Amino acid sequence: MSKTVSKSRTLYERLGGYDAISAVANDLLPRLQGDARLARFWQHRGEDGVKREKQLLIDFLCSCAGGPLYYTGRDMKTSHKGLKISEGDWSAFLGHLDGTLQAFHVPQAERDEVFAFVESTKRDIVEV
């Protein structure tokens, strides 16, 4: 029996794999932390906690994009509960995400897939 090789690549592969997704997270988080509207989410956080959060973000993105990583963090609703993330916060986040993806020259088709996925998490993240 011959094995058929699928020509369709996962979003993870099309984004460049772990290293590319890690580079995006390394660019995105400082953008978010440096935004006066969003900085409050990282105030009073230790360096180790921020590093752990970044690694969880990388694992989450890699896993959801079809990569070989397993996300071990909490679900989006639990991990964002009580943060009082508003529509304005969400819009600011999306602006920074778009800026990061553009800075890395991510093609429009892949950017659209990333945004569709991110939008699917909104109901579990935005509270007010």
Is the pLDDT assigned to residue 120 strictly greater than 80? yes
pLDDT tens-digit series, residues 69-114: 889 999 999 999 999 999 999 999 999 999 999 999 999 999 999 9
Is the model more confident about 7 or about 101? 101
CA 79, CA 104: separation in Å to the nearest integer?
28
pLDDT of residue 45: 87
CATH homologous superfamily of 16-125: Globins (1.10.490.10)
Domain residue spans in the chain?
A: 16-125
12-31: b (≥16 Cβ within 10 Å) or e: bebbeebebbbebbeebbeb
Mean pLDDT of the chain: 92
